[in-house]
Structure 1
Amino acid sequence: MTADPEGPAGREGEVLARFAAARLWAAHRAPYLASAVFALNPVLIEAALDDTTGAPLPDPEFRAFPADIRWNVHLETGTALATPVPEIGWWLLHHVGHLVRRHASRSPVRPEDGGGTHAAGLAGDERAHRWNQAADAEINDDLEADDLPGPDGVISPKALGLPANRMAEEYVPMLDVLADAMGRGGKALADAIDCGSAADGRPRTYEDSGGGGGLSELDRELLERSIAVGIQDRISARSEVPSGWQRWAGERLAPTVNWRARLGALIRRGLSTVAGNTDFSHRRPSRRAGAYTDIVPPALVSPVPDTVLVIDTSGSVTNAVLDRLLAEVTAIITGVAGPNRRLRALCCDMHPHPVQTVRRAEDIRLVGGGGTDMRAGIEAAAGLRPRPDLVVVLTDGQTPWPERRPRPHVVVCLIGDDGHAPDWAAIARIPEEGPT
C-alpha cells in the first residue's frame, strides 16, 4: 500500500471524478438510459484507513455501490478508488434497472421483515438475498444482450442456463432450484452482493448519510416517462434496444388500461386461496361425529370467499361517482366469487361507520362526509369476524395508509389519477368520469 498524501478532501474529489467518468461511460454504452444515469445522486461514505499507511481500504460489502429508492448511489471511498471506472459505470446501469423497474415496490420482502443492517444481502434475510438475485437476473440479461457483461460473481441468466427476458418474480423459483442443487454439491449459486434498498425496499443504516437528497416521487414519475419516450423513439428509428427495455417502455407508456380486466384479475388472485377449493374444516363437525367418543372429525366444505368493501365517503368523491363504481365493482366481485358470495360494506371518512351486509350495490347506504383516514377503515375491516378473505378499498387515494400490510389480501381501487396507494396493496386505477 502507498501512503495517501492528499487527505480526505483530495480523496473525495477523486471519488467524484471517477463517478463522473463512470457516468459518461455508462451514458455512452447505453444512450437510451443516459437521462437516468445522470439523475443518479452520488453519496460518499468515508472508508476505513490502513493503520500503517493511512490509505483507504476497500470494503467488499460495498462492491456494488448500492443505491436507495431516492436514486442515491452510495460510494464507499476505498472501494470507489480501487474499482475500474468501466466497472463503476456498469453498476450505475445495473442500479438504473432496479430503480426504473421498481424492484423495491415489487419485492415480496417487506421493510418490517428486517433491514437496517450494514448490508442486508450478506447479513439479512435469505429471502431478500434471493429476491436481489432474481431482480439482478431480470436486469443483467438485458445488459448482456447489449454486450455489457457484468463483473465476476454477479448473476448471469445465460451462464446459469436460465431463459432470458423473464421477470424477477419468475426467476425466484428457478434460482431456488439451482441454489439447492448447487448447494448439495458444495457450491454457491453466486456471490452475495447487496444492491441496496433500490432492489428490495428495505432501508440500510448507511442510507441516512444521504442527507435527504435524491429524487421525489414526482421527479421519478417524470423521469421514467422521459426514459420510456426516448426508448420508443429509438425503436421507431430502428436503433437497437434490448427486448426487456422495449417491453418496459411499452408497458410504461400504455395509453389505456382495461381497469375492469385488471380489477377482476386482482380480485381473482386475492381469492385464489379459497374460491372453489374443497377442504376439511372443524368449523362444521362431521355428521358422523356421534360415532366417536373423543375425536370430532372435520367436515368437507367448499368455502365461499368473504369480501369486505371499504368505501371512502369523506366527500372528496361524490356519491354519484361512488354509486356508479360500486355497481361495477360489486358486479366484478360477483363474477369472480359467484352469486352466493358474502359481501359486507363499510363506509369510512375519519372513522369507520357500522358494517352493512348486502347482496346488491344499490342496497349500500353511503354515510359519512368528514375527513379521510382509510387506516381506520382497513383496520376495522381486518378486525371483523369472521375475518374477510379480501378487502376492496374504493377511494381517491387522498388519505394516509397503514404502514404494515394487514392480514387479509387488499385491493385498492384508486379513483382518478391523483391518488396514491401503499406498495403492499394490489392497485387498480379506475376512471372518475363516465364508463370507459
Structure 2
Amino acid sequence: MTTATGRTPHPDREPEVLRRFAEARLWAAAQAPYLASAVFALRPVVLEARSDEHTGEPVPDPEFRALPTDTRWRVHLDPGTLLTTPVEETGWWLLHHIGHLVRRHAARGPNQGAGRRTGGTGGADEEAAHRWNQAADAEVNDDLESAGLTTPEGVVSPRALGLPEGRLAEEYVSLIEVLDTAHRRGGRRLVDLVDCGPAVRGLDGRYEETGAGEGIDDTERHVLELALARDIERRAAARTAVPGGWRRWAEDRRRPVVDWRTRLGAVLRRGVRRTAGRVDFSYRRPSRRPGPGGVLLPTMVAPAPGIALVIDTSGSVAAPVLAGFLSEITGVLARAAGPERRLRAICCDDRAHPVQEVREAADIELTGGGGTDLRAGIAAALALRPRPDLVLVLTDGHTPWPERRPPVPVVVGLVAAHPPPADAPTPPAWAHPIPLPATAPRGAEA
C-alpha cells in the first residue's frame, strides 16, 4: 500500500537497513575514535521507502542522500538510499552530522527562529538556508579532510574549492556566495544542493513529521558534549591524532570564554550597588511633603557613581586598540552606571597627565608615550575630588603596581599580547582583572 506521501512501508527491509546503519557506525567510530561516543549516540529513524512503480522495490531518494539529521540527534534513513550507498560513505555522513550537531549550526544559522519551516518554500529564505548549509558543510568537512577522509562527490570541500581552511561557517558564507555567483554565470552551480536537515537548517516540519522516536534532550546533549570534549582532550594530550578543529572545539566547550563586556559590566554593576545605599539631600526636586509652616524640604537622592579611567599610553598598546576598547568600555559604563555617570580619564605613561572629564570615548585625547608606571595614574585618580567610587585601568599589565590595596575597587582591563608570552604579567591580588582580546573590537580602527 502506498501512502499519501508517495512512500511505501517496507517492514521486511527495516532489519537490513538498521544492519547497514550499524556497519556504517562501526566504520565511523574506527575512523574517528575520538568521536565514538557521539557516533553511538545517534538515533536511527527508518522512513517509509520511495518505491519503484514497477517492481515495488525501494529506490534511492536524492533528497535523503545526506541522511538528514535533526537537533535531537535522530538520523533519518531512507531505505532505498541506505541500501545502495557504500558503508564507507554512510559512515562519512555520520561523522559529518556530528560536526553539525556539536557546533550548533542550527542555532547559528538564518532559520533559527522557533517554528520556522524550511524546504520547498522557495524564495530568499530557502536560498539563505541552502547557502548556510553549504557554509556549515565547509566548516565541518575541513576537519574530515584533515583526518584523511574523502569528501563525497558534489559536496562542499574547502580544499577542492580553493577556500582557506579553518574558518567558521559565518566566514565561508560570503566566500561561497562569490564563487557560486561566478559559476552561475557559466550556467551551473558551484556544488550540488545537499540537505543536511534540521541539524543545520533549523526547525523543519518535514522531518518532524516523518521522524519517530524520542531522540536526546538538552540535558543528555550537554552531558554528551562534555564527555566528548574530555575524550578529545585526553587523546590530544596522549599525542593521538585529532584534527585541530576538534581540539579547538573541545577546549572551547570545556572552558568556554566569557565575553569581556559581560564580565566588565558585572563588576561595574557591583560597584554601582555599593554606592546605591549612599544618599544625600537635594533641593533640585523639593519633597512633595511640605514641612511645618509650609517650609520646603529637600529630597533624598542617590549620587551617580564616580568612575576614574586610567589609560596606559606608554606605547606598548597600539593607539587604535586603545581607542577601540575605550569606545566599547564607555558603552558598558553607560549601561552599568547610567547616562549621568561621572567619568574622568587620566592618560599615564611614566607620569599622570592632566585629567579629562568626558562622556564619550571619542572625547579622550590619548597623550603620552614614555615609560610605564601606572602607580602615578592610580594615585592621581585617588586624589580626585570627589574621590571616585571605582578606578578602571586599561593596560597590557607591564607596569609596577601599588604595594597596598587602594581604598576603592580597581578593575584592570588587561589587553593580551598575541601570542601571549610565558611570563605574561598578572595584576596584584587586590585588583579585579578582566582579560581583553589582543586585537581591537570590530570597527575600532574605522
Alignment TM-score, normalising by the size of structure 1: 0.60
Aligned pairs for 1:8-407 (under 5 A) are 8-111=10-113, 114-117=116-119, 125-211=126-212, 213-254=214-255, 257-261=257-261, 323=273, 336=328, 338=330, 359-360=340-341
RMSD: 3.7
The alignment partner of 1:222 has SS state of: helix
- Native 8 Å contact 2:10 2:49 kept in 1: no
C-alpha separation between the residues in 1 aligned to 2:41 and 2:114? Answer: 29
CA distance in 2, matches of 1:145, 1:208: 36
Alpha-carbon deviations, 1:297-317, whole Å to 9, x = none?
xxxxxxxxxxxxxxxxxxxxx
User: Could you list the per-position Cα deviations for residues 328-365 of structure 1 after superposition, in whole angstroms to 9, with x for gaps in the alignment?
Assistant: 9x9999962748997699xxxxxxxxxxx86359xxxx
**Partners in 1 of 2:44 and 2:229 — Cα distance?**
24
Is the contact between residue 50 and residue 58 of structure 2 (CA under 8 Å) also seen in structure 1? yes
Whole-angstrom distance in 2 between the partners of 1:22 and 1:63: 15
Same amino acid, percent of matched pairs: 51
Aligned length: 292
Given that 1:334 and 1:341 are in contact with CA atoms closer than 8 Å, whether structure 2 keeps it comes out as no
| TM-score of the superposed pair, with normalisation by structure 2 | 0.58
Deviations 1:223-246 (A, max 9, x none): 111111111111111111111111
Deviations 1:190-212 (CA, angstroms, capped at 9, x unpaired)? 00000001012132313233335
Amino acid at match of 2:340: R
CA distance in 1, matches of 2:205, 2:27: 28
- In structure 2, relative to structure 1, the CA distance for the partners of 1:337 and 1:15 (3 Å cut) is same
> For residues 21 and 99 of structure 1, do their structure 2 counterparts lie closer, same or farther at Cα, with a shift above 3 Å needed?
same
Counterpart residue type for residue 260 of structure 1: W
Cα gap change, 1:339 to 1:139, in 2 (>3 Å): closer
Structure 1 residue 147: deviation in Å?
1.0
Contact 1:67–1:196 (8 Å) recurs in 2: yes
User: For the structure 1 residues 250 and 341, does the alpha-carbon distance in structure 2 shift closer, same or farther, using more than 3 Å as the test?
Assistant: closer
Secondary structure of the 1:152 match is coil
Q: 1:340, 1:125 → 2: CA distance?
A: 38
Deviation at 1:136, TM superposition (A): 0.2
CA contact (8 A) 1:22 1:85 kept: yes
Compared CA separation, residues 122 and 64, structure 1 to 2 (3 A): farther
* Counterpart AA for 2:15: G
Kept in 2: contact 1:70–1:214 (CA 8 A): yes
* Counterpart code for 1:174: L
Contact 1:121 / 1:132 at 8 angstroms: preserved in 2? no
C-alpha contact (below 8 Å) 2:119/2:126 kept by paired residues: no
Q: Is the contact between residue 116 and residue 202 of structure 2 (CA under 8 Å) also seen in structure 1?
A: no
CA deviations 1:49-73 (Å, max 9, x no partner) are: 2222110121100000000000000
Contact kept? 2:272, 2:336, Cα under 8 Å: no
Q: 1:117 to 1:177 in 2, by over 3 A?
A: closer
- SS of the residue corresponding to residue 30 of structure 2 reads helix
Once residues 47 and 124 of structure 1 are traced to their aligned partners in structure 2, the CA distance between those partners, rounded to angstroms, is 29
Distance 2:163 2:122 in 1: 22
> How far does residue 117 in structure 1 lie from its aligned partner after superposition?
3.3
SS state at 2:196 partner: coil
Larger Cα Rg: Structure 1 or Structure 2? 2
Aligned to 2:40, the other structure's residue is in SS state helix
Shift of 1:10: 2.0
Give ranges in structure 1 of 5+ residues lacking alignment.
1-6, 268-318, 346-356, 362-433
Shift of 1:320: 8.0
Q: 1:325 to 1:44 in 2, by over 3 A?
A: farther
